[in-house]
A and B are shown apart, each in its own frame.
Chain A
Amino acid sequence: MYKKLSNLGFVIGIFFIIISLILIIGGLVSSALAYKLNFYTGFSFLLFGIVMSFFNSNSGQHKEK
């Protein structure tokens, strides 16, 4: 897990997945967040987050010395 966390691509991906979930789930459960722009942005962030987290496993590795 530590190896994964020291991969910046993975960390950035997880960050955007969490933000996207706040926007999407928040929009589903709360009228205060139920805006089209939140959903569109949330899904874009989710897609970006997944790509960064799971398709960037090697390129961002800060090698252990």
Chain B
Amino acid sequence: MNLHIADYLIIIVYFLFVIGVGFIIKKKIKTSNDFLTSGRNIPLWITSLAFISANLGAQEVLGMVASGAKYGIMTVHFYWVGAIFAMVFLGVFMMPFYYGSRARSVPEFLKLRFDEKTRGLNAISFAIMTVFSSGISLFALAKLLEVILHWDFDVSIWLAAGIVMIYTFLGGLTSAVYNEVLQFFLIVLGLSPLVIVALHDAGGWSNIRTLLQPEMTHAWKYMGHADSNPMGINFMSLIFGLGFVMSFGYWCTDFLVVQRAMMAKNMNAAQRTPLIAAIPKMFMPLIVVLPGVIAITLMQPALASKGFNIPSDGNGGLDYTMTLPALISHYYPTGLLGVGITALIASFMSGMAGNVTAFNSVFTFDIYQSYFVKNKSDKHYLIVGKIATIAGILFSIMTAYIATGFNNINDFLQLVFSFVNGPLFATFLLGMFWKRTTGHGAFWGLLAGTLAAAATHGLTLAEGKGGWMYPLYEIHSGMGQAFIVASVSWIVNFCTTIIVSLFTKPKPDSELKGLVYSLTEKPSYHQNKWYLKVVPLAIILIVATLILNFIFF
């Protein structure tokens, strides 16, 4: 793939804009809250698009296109099973607690609901996870640019990290969020022509269905048994593992996404943020799953004349991660090629910035202010937040170089995510809906859940991964293994939390107001029009999602 002046010009314009956004936002940054939490002053459309963009990093984009090519239309489960329902649950049930408690972060909410040690455990594990994610984003960007454009790996790492550092250091969370929204439009508008042209080339959806195996074009029909579908999992594992544990664990408790809703101007906007975000999320498979399905169709013998190929992985298989870059290279001419590459760069950098801004908030509020230096001036914490931003970027660079030793970044991310986020939703579910849950129960439950995740991974083997303790049980696919690890950790956390809570003393009701469902006044929006209310929007989203599942059954 060779870039020309026009392509470079587009990339340079993008870099200038993201840095420019940093300088514009810098003038608004006066306090640590402005820098780390955006001062709860962001319009709904921005919080909603930032909410969805936080999950639209390049790993997700490249990973979903790759999964579309590998597993077919079943990949839509990550959206229509593994996202929309959890987003609706977050908006309707959980945002009133997050927003109403005035907590500045998810770990801080855990402190309010439970105790200091539960916050500490979550804050430290989350901080480590964000740095890993950010570093892997950086590594993946540099690797991609090295492979497709032959750019120097080190230069790409330092250039991308430098630009992210400038705009996050200047404008903090607001700057990161503004660039996430720009990235959202770049990805959607930048990849739409690719989908249209490639779909036309493949003969439309009807031809795709004719040319591919039926299990590649049905979302549910072949889910009865793990052996009968390309993903290697049955519908029960999918619904519980992905649709419940992983999905709710990520969308409802991961501070990176919840932080976007917490920036909203008021409770109603905070509740509607994940609901409005669910609308584009519902249609995102058109941009990130369909290209993968089209790519594998174009490789069928009937369409050999089109001359498209997914690159080989060197072991006789296909390097599915390169599906999207291969499509861009095949269909985009000079000019639009620059747009496509910029969209990829934007998603990598935005993913990194999102993690760094979540890291600096959690480090400043939940680690530094809570355990090291209390009761200092706001200016002090603003400076600490900025230093944490630089430190986060430097840790990310270090992680990126460490990641060169791993050959599958997505596996690694899923693994870290399963260990940390898998069990967390059980803590929140019990904490928010069972007032008897205690701080000791939450802490030991989280710890037991995380250890159970590690043990399950160590005892199961899938596609050569895991089994580092003893390969006791073999699972068809790495994805199935991730679902099982998350499910076991959730169940262990759930049971441990209940048992320990029953033997320890709960907080009095007076301390749990606004933190537990039964003791919290529900927000009502009787004065609003129906489309401004939370529940009607939620019902429409659920019905629409069920219809989409039915259409592609």
Q: Which positions in A face B, CB cutoff 8 Å? A: 2, 5-6, 8, 11-12, 15-16, 18-19, 22-23, 26-27, 30, 32-33, 35, 37-38, 40-42, 44-45, 48, 59-65
Contact = CB atoms under 8 A, between A and B. Distances in A.
Of the listed residues B13, B30, B189, B333, the one surrounded by the most CB atoms of chain A closer than 10 A to its CB is: B333
B43 A62 contact: yes
A12 B174 CA distance: 15
A27 B335 contact: yes
16 contacts: A6-B25, A11-B20, A22-B6, A22-B9, A22-B10, A22-B13, A27-B335, A30-B6, A32-B4, A32-B6, A33-B6, A33-B335, A35-B333, A35-B335, A41-B336, A62-B174
A1 to B, nearest CB: 11
B185 interface: yes
Interface string B165-189: 0000000001000100110010001
A2 B26 CA distance: 12
Given A5-B24, A45-B189, A15 B333 contact: no
B interface, by DSSP: helix, strand, loop or mixed? helix
Contact of B21 (A11, A19, A35): A11
A interface, by DSSP: helix, strand, loop or mixed? helix
A19 B193 contact: no
A11 B178 CA distance: 10
B155 interface: no
Nearest to A11: B21
Contact of B197 (A37, A48, A59, A64): A37
A64 B174 CA distance: 13
Interface in B319-336: 331-336
Contacts of B9: 22
B28 interface: yes
B174 A19 contact: no
Q: Interface size class for chain B?
A: 35 or more
A41 B41 contact: no
Contacts of B331: 37
A11 B182 contact: yes
Contacts of A64: 28
Contacts of B193: 37, 40-41, 44
Contacts of B333: 33, 35, 37-38
Contact of A16 (B30, B46, B189): B189
A37 B62 CA distance: 23
Interface string B329-350: 0011111101100000000000
The 9 closest A-B CB pairs, nearest first, are A35-B333, A38-B335, A33-B335, A26-B6, A41-B193, A23-B335, A32-B334, A5-B24, A15-B17
Contacts of A26: 6, 335
B532 to A, nearest CB: 15
Nearest to A6: B24
Interface in B17-55: 17, 20-21, 24-25, 27-28, 30, 39, 41-43, 45-46
A12 to B, nearest CB: 5
B178 A8 contact: yes
Nearest to A61: B43
Contacts of A16: 185, 189
A61 B41 CA distance: 10
Contacts of B4: 32
A63 to B, nearest CB: 6
A50 B391 CA distance: 39
